[in-house]
């Protein structure tokens, strides 16, 4: 215990010196001596003494009792009065201040010593009691406020106390469990043997484990249960040191387990479809392979890619694309067995693992069932339109195509590309010779990437002709590749390859810049202004970088916007959210829009009226059999009539003979293109066609 500090309040110098001497002999520290009540109050505030020896008769306006009263309100401090007064009035006033003692002068040294020592012991006892009460209050607060369930057991392992949290979690009320053992919470773990084990191990009276705890309704919840034995050496009945109480702490791990499950699901499942992701699929494939090796059985891997998903996603928007993926995931799962796995690898690529298959017919049957399910149309809730899709499936077999996950997936991927090359919406089993085809395709993609740098790409231009007089009113820019081995390749051979690879962005920018540069070159030659039609995919059109590049080209090559016509497909019109904002931008720039391959998609009359569309191009499949196919004749006449009604310019694609030309011109078709007039030609040949002749004859004469 530290040395107690004493403040002496005594106006008699002799008594003060005597007190000081005696207190120092007893081992106390004298922090100060004052003679007035006012000074006693101030010193108490500043020095904070442990004890005040207070004379009642003091100098100044305040006597000792009045000073003690004010001290009690400022900083309660133990006070012993030293006074010769024994009258009832003084004693009554002194008692009201609740002093720790009252010594009547004169007093002996023994009396002073005994009084002060008893005071200090009382102070120590009071302090310990206050600390104990505070600890008990804190313990009670923790006992009730904690998020854990707490049970207190006696030496017989019977429950004596529970907190409110135990009732909240388990449903048991205090009266239902008091006096019984807690084994009912988990009889397999919380047994008598466990408590005997804790009793016997006096060096470690604590046990903790993760177990399932049973609630009152019979349901289970995961918990961490800790049991600690509380030893009380002072208790006579436990002189041997065994615990005389047990504290059982039950921490509910339900939210922790749910969070762990959620994190596991996020790490191993696709967030959109809920299917296993690539990581989980690879784990299951490895497991399936090990099982097949042990059973000496076969298994199959499907690599599935949706046909034309990119077009649907780009034209109708990502919401519709996501909706399609969800529909596909659901339909796939209905086609396989419960033991099989359907996983999404990413984008529109899926993996199916067929475990323990009987024969090839089973695999073919599942593939056919899946293709049929995926080819069924569905109606989008976002656009309220019916959407058709399909898939191509590549199949690899264990052990024929490989004995590890990478080999099987690579083989199935190769077979999938082979299925696509056969017309899509079909399946193909992997064969070794497909590896050569895949290598050739990869090499072809690399060659296309290099073709830009090696200047093997060029644009050819097919004339667009006014049907009433044969004048060339525009050209359509068409991509060509002068391949060093395969010769001149058309856009139909190049674009699908570019879209499957990673060079479509660079290729589309090159086409745009080259077409604009050529248009500017013709203007420099003094040729008449010509409309340049450029085919644009939905992905390009909705790419902000493409529109920015287009604006830059108009400025760089000083091209009037009205001379540029962007040809888009009908499917592009279905993405209303992105479409309207984009078309407003096109209209503001003064560019023209044409609907290419009109009649092959779905376009409402209202859509055509509202959007800044200037031309509709009748697809060549409706021109090919004119005038001999009544159905094609009716379709062509209907499109021309609709265009005239909407004040749009109608353009016929693919005219190849005089009969087609006569029919379309006679029914009011405005413009045309096709081999009947001219094939797509290099720029220098188009330049020669555009130069005016001295005899003022049209470059492309009327042939009727």
pLDDT of residue 85: 84
pLDDT of residue 696: 39
Beta bridge partners of residue 214, listed in sequence order: 220
Read off the pLDDT of each residue in 474-484 and give the average, rounded to a whole number: 90
- Distance of alpha carbon 9 from the chain centroid: 75
Run of H or E including 285? helix 278-295
DSSP letter string over 133-202? HHHHHHHHHHHHHSSSEEEEE-TT--EEEE-HHHHHHH---HHHHTTS-GGGG-TTTS-HHHHHHHHH-T
Residue 236 reports pLDDT greater than 60: no
Read off the pLDDT of each residue in 452-474 and give the average, rounded to a whole number: 90
pLDDT of residue 516: 93
pLDDT of residue 652: 93
Residue 234 reports pLDDT greater than 60: no
Read off the pLDDT of each residue in 192-200 and give the average, rounded to a whole number: 68
pLDDT of residue 200: 62
Q: How many whole angstroms separate alpha carbon 463 and alpha carbon 474?
A: 6
Read off the pLDDT of each residue in 113-117 and give the average, rounded to a whole number: 79
pLDDT of residue 211: 82
pLDDT of residue 486: 83
**In three state form, how does the secondary structure of 376-398 look?**
CCEECCCCCCEECCEEEEEEEEE
Select the more confidently predicted residue: 603 or 348. 348
Select the more confidently predicted residue: 135 or 104. 104
62-76, 121-135, 266-280, 427-441: least confidently modelled range = 121-135
pLDDT, tens only, 35-82: 999 999 999 999 999 889 999 989 989 999 999 999 988 888 888 888
Residue 577 reports pLDDT greater than 60: no
Residue 328 reports pLDDT greater than 90: yes
pLDDT of residue 138: 59
pLDDT, tens only, 254-283: 888 888 788 888 888 999 999 999 999 999
Residue 248 reports pLDDT greater than 80: yes
What confidence category does residue 32 fall into, taking pLDDT thresholds of 50, 70 and 90?
very high
Distances (CA, A) of 300 to 227, 293, 357, 379: 52, 13, 7, 32
Residue 220 reports pLDDT greater than 80: yes
29 three-class SS: strand
Q: How many whole angstroms separate alpha carbon 497 and alpha carbon 499?
A: 6
Place of tokens 């090499």: 443
Q: How many whole angstroms separate alpha carbon 347 and alpha carbon 310?
A: 9
pLDDT of residue 703: 43
What confidence category does residue 572 fall into, taking pLDDT thresholds of 50, 70 and 90?
low
pLDDT of residue 441: 67
Read off the pLDDT of each residue in 623-651 and give the average, rounded to a whole number: 90
Whole-number percent of the chain with pLDDT over 70? 85
569 three-class SS: strand
pLDDT, tens only, 369-398: 999 999 888 888 877 777 878 899 999 999
pLDDT of residue 329: 94
Q: Which residues of 373-401 are buried (b: 16+ CB within 10 A; e: fewer)?
A: bbeeeeebebbeeebebbbbbbbbbbeeb
Residue 693 reports pLDDT greater than 60: no
Alpha helices in 48-163 (DSSP H): 64-74, 88-96, 109-145
Q: How many whole angstroms separate alpha carbon 39 and alpha carbon 47?
A: 12
Read off the pLDDT of each residue in 572-589 and give the average, rounded to a whole number: 70
pLDDT of residue 698: 42
Read off the pLDDT of each residue in 406-416 and give the average, rounded to a whole number: 91
pLDDT of residue 244: 74
Q: Quick one: 484 exposed, middle or buried, by C-beta within 10 A (0-12, 13-18, 19+)?
A: exposed
Residue 576 reports pLDDT greater than 80: no
Mean pLDDT of all residues belonging to the chain: 83
What confidence category does residue 697 fall into, taking pLDDT thresholds of 50, 70 and 90?
very low
Q: How many whole angstroms separate alpha carbon 676 and alpha carbon 382?
A: 43
pLDDT, tens only, 514-571: 999 999 999 998 888 889 999 887 667 666 677 888 888 999 999 999 999 988 877 6
pLDDT of residue 574: 59
Residue 603 reports pLDDT greater than 60: no
What confidence category does residue 465 fall into, taking pLDDT thresholds of 50, 70 and 90?
very high
Read off the pLDDT of each residue in 185-214 and give the average, rounded to a whole number: 71
Residue 241 reports pLDDT greater than 90: no
pLDDT of residue 145: 61
Query: With contact defined as beta carbons under 8 Å apart, do 298 and 399 qualify?
Result: yes
Residue 599 reports pLDDT greater than 80: no
Residue 612 reports pLDDT greater than 50: yes
Read off the pLDDT of each residue in 300-327 and give the average, rounded to a whole number: 86
Residue 204 reports pLDDT greater than 70: no
The pair of three-digit structure tokens given for residue 197, joined into one six-digit string: 């084990």
């Amino acid at each position: 215990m530290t040395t107690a500090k004493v403040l002496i309040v005594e106006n008699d110098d002799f008594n003060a010196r005597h007190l000081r001497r005696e207190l120092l002999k007893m081992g106390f520290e004298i922090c100060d001596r004052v003679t007035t009540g006012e000074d006693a109050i101030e010193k108490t505030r500043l020095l904070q003494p442990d004890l005040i020896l207070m004379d009642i008769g003091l100098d100044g306006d305040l006597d000792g009792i009045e000073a003690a009263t004010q001290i009690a309100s400022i900083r309660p401090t133990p006070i012993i009065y030293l006074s010769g007064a024994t009258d009832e009035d003084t004693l009554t006033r002194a008692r009201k201040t609740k002093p720790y003692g009252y010594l009547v002068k004169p007093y002996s040294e023994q009396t002073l010593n005994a009084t002060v020592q008893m005071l200090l012991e009382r102070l120590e006892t009071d302090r310990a009691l206050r600390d104990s009460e505070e600890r008990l209050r804190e313990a009670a607060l923790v006992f009730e406020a904690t998020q854990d369930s707490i049970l207190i057991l006696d030496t017989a392992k019977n429950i004596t106390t529970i907190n409110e949290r135990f009732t909240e979690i388990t449903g048991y009320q205090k009266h239902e469990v008091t006096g019984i053992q807690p084994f009912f919470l988990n009889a397999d773990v919380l047994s008598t043997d466990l408590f005997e084990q804790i009793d016997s191990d006096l060096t470690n009276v604590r046990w903790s484990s993760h177990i399932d705890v049973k609630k009152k309704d019979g349901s289970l919840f995961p918990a961490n249960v800790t049991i600690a034995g509380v030893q009380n050496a002072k208790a006579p009945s436990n002189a041997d040191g065994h615990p005389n109480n047990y504290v059982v702490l039950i921490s509910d791990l339900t939210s922790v387990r749910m969070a762990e499950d959620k994190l596991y699901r996020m790490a191993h499942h696709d967030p959109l479809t809920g299917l296993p992701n690539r990581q989980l699929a690879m784990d299951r494939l490895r497991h399936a392979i090990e099982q097949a090796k042990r059973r000496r059985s076969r298994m199959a891997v499907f690599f599935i890619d949706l046909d034309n998903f990119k077009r649907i996603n780009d034209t109708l928007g990502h919401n519709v694309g996501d909706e399609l993926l969800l529909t596909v995931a659901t339909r796939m799962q209905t086609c396989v067995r419960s033991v099989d796995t359907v996983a999404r690898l990413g984008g529109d690529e899926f993996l199916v693992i067929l475990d323990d298959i009987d024969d090839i017919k089973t695999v073919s049957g599942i593939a056919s069932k899946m293709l049929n399910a995926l080819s069924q149309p569905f109606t989008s809730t976002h656009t309220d339109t019916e959407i058709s899709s399909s898939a191509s499936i590549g199949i690899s077999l264990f052990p024929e195509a490989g004995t590890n996950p990478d080999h099987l997936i690579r083989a199935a991927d190769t077979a999938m590309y082979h299925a696509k090359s056969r017309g899509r919406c079909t399946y193909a089993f992997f064969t070794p010779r497909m590896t050569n085809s895949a290598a050739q395709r990869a090499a072809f993609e690399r060659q296309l990437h290099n073709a830009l740098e090696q200047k093997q790409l060029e644009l050819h231009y097919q004339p667009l002709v006014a049907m009433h007089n044969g004048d060339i009113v525009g050209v359509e820019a068409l991509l060509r590749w002068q391949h060093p081995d395969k010769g001149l390749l058309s856009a139909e051979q190049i674009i699908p390859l570019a879209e499957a690879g990673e060079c479509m962005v660079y290729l589309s920018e090159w086409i745009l810049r080259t077409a604009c540069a050529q248009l500017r070159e013709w203007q420099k030659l003094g040729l008449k202004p010509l409309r340049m039609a450029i085919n644009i995919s939905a992905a390009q059109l909705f790419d902000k970088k493409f529109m920015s590049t287009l604006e830059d080209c108009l400025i760089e090559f000083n091209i009037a916007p009205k001379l540029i016509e962007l040809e888009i497909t009908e499917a592009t019109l279905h993405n209303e959210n992105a479409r309207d904002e984009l078309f407003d931008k096109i209209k503001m720039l003064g560019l023209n829009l044409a609907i290419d391959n009109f009649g092959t998609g779905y376009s409402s009359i209202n859509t055509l009226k509202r959007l800044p569309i200037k031309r509709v191009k009748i697809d060549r499949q409706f021109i090919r059999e004119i005038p001999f196919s009544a159905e094609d004749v009716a379709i062509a006449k209907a499109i021309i009539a609709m265009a005239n009604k909407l004040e749009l310019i109608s353009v016929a694609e693919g005219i190849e003979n005089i009969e087609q030309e006569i029919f379309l011109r006679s029914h009011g078709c405005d413009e045309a293109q096709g081999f009947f007039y001219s094939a797509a030609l290099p720029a220098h040949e188009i330049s020669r066609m555009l130069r005016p002749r001295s005899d003022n004859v049209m470059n492309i004469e009327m042939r009727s």
